[in-house]
A = this chain, B = another copy of it.
Amino acid sequence: MAVTIKDIAKRAGVSHSTVSRALRVNHLVSSETARRIRQVAQEMGYRPSAVARSLKTKRTQVLGVIVSSISDPFFGEILNGIEVSAQAGGYSLFIAASQHDPVKERQIVQTMMEQRTDGVIICSSSFSPEHGRELLSYGFPVVVVNHQGSESFNYSIYHDDVDGSSQITRHLISLGHKRIAYLGNSQSGRTTQDRLRGFLDVMSDANLEVPDSYIHHVEGGDPKLGQESVEYFTRLSTKPTAIVCFNDTLAIGVVKGCEKAGLRIPDDLSVTGFDNITYSAFTAPSLTTFDQPKFSIGQEAAQLLLDLLKAEDGIIPDTPNVKVLQGKLLVRESTGIPSED
């Protein structure tokens, strides 16, 4: 049985109110008794009950985080950033993975509401607008990462996927590539669409054609799927000289697939990733990718949410609703001048 302030009160010969005050706001209690109470609390191994406190104060000091998958290194690093900011602000994290499953999503949203989380960060690349609205209508401050449905949410941290994808595409074009394909992840909703758009816009601006067969989507982000997709691309009648991959994990698979198929990178095929996860530097050859400031994205998202919580009316005067964090192109070894043919 855990020690309560009443136990301390009895032992110290005061009322529980005095104990409560002594342990929180010391200016309302004499310094002598405060000292004694603190000592008794220490001796008895007292730990305040966050549960009881939350009930009274209507603040749980907990942030809910919804993520597609915990084991995805991209989200892992964002989570790191979120954790650091949250911990610094005295908040703990409730983390749940939706696994792209609407049923789980529903469960998670429900849990967050029941647990009376102070706010929610949505990091899931696919998240149903319906559930988002549910969170909002329940009065949760919500910060969205990944630009997912930023129209309906007030605050979001936005890494410019369109721009990043454009930069990558321009890089390939500047190397001389004309036949460039796109490998997407159909489960990543808005994000894959944005990256596709950045790619298509630049191609169109450069008057380069992208046949339908050059846009290929797989269902998930596992490297294995990237590896398998190489077969698809090599079977095309006119083969692309470069593949823009939705993200690094797919690209890592593509690199392996090429190795198996005897395709040399970048001589026979250029490959690009996206996100700059740790492992993108350790393929052979290392991946040209777009470096997203993942840790900062997480930090900023949590910080924004904390600011939002401080501003009791839910509006921060001098902060833009959408914060854009710039990434930057990282040219490594997987891209090069296309071979003549």
Whether A83 and B97, one on each chain, are in contact in the complex, defined by CB atoms closer than 8 angstroms, is: yes
Instruction: Return A242 CB to nearest CB of chain B, in Å.
Output: 20
Nearest-CB residue, chain B, relative to A114? B50
Cβ-based interface call for A71 (8 A): yes
Instruction: Return A76 CB to nearest CB of chain B, in Å.
Output: 3
Q: Which residues of B contact A104 (CB under 8 A)?
A: 87
Whether A80 and B97, one on each chain, are in contact in the complex, defined by CB atoms closer than 8 angstroms, is: yes
A contact residues, total (Cβ < 8 Å): 55
Which of B54, B76, B116 is A73 in contact with, Cβ under 8 Å?
B76
User: 1/0 per residue A84-122: CB within 8 Å of B?
Assistant: 000100001111110000001001001101111000000
Whether B116 and A50, one on each chain, are in contact in the complex, defined by CB atoms closer than 8 angstroms, is: yes
User: Which candidate, A152-160, A173-181, A196-204, A250-258, is the interface stretch facing chain B?
Assistant: A250-258
Count of chain copies = 2
Instruction: Return A13 CB to nearest CB of chain B, in Å.
Output: 26
Instruction: Return A23 CB to nearest CB of chain B, in Å.
Output: 12
Q: Which of A34-72 contact B (CB under 8 A)?
A: 45, 47-52, 54-55, 60, 62, 69-72
Cβ-based interface call for A232 (8 A): no
Q: Which residues of B contact A252 (CB under 8 A)?
A: 279, 282
**Cα-based distance from A54 to B52 in the complex (angstroms):** 9
User: Interface majority SS on A: helix, strand, loop or mixed?
Assistant: helix
Cβ-based interface call for A14 (8 A): no
Whether B60 and A70, one on each chain, are in contact in the complex, defined by CB atoms closer than 8 angstroms, is: no
Cβ-based interface call for A184 (8 A): no
Q: A49-B116, A71-B73 are in contact. List 19 more A-B contacts (CB 8 A).
A: A2-B138, A2-B139, A45-B137, A45-B138, A62-B115, A70-B70, A70-B76, A70-B83, A71-B79, A72-B76, A73-B76, A87-B104, A92-B94, A223-B278, A223-B279, A253-B282, A279-B282, A283-B283, A284-B284
Pull 28 A–B residue pairs with CB atoms less than 8 Å apart, ordered by A: A2-B116, A45-B138, A47-B110, A47-B113, A47-B114, A49-B55, A49-B116, A51-B54, A51-B116, A55-B55, A69-B80, A70-B83, A73-B76, A80-B97, A83-B96, A83-B97, A87-B96, A87-B104, A92-B96, A92-B115, A93-B95, A93-B96, A253-B282, A255-B282, A259-B284, A279-B279, A282-B283, A283-B283
A: which residues have CB within 8 A of B? Answer: 2, 45, 47-52, 54-55, 60, 62, 69-73, 76-77, 79-80, 83, 87, 92-97, 104, 107, 110-111, 113-116, 137-139, 222-223, 227, 252-253, 255-256, 259, 278-279, 281-284, 286
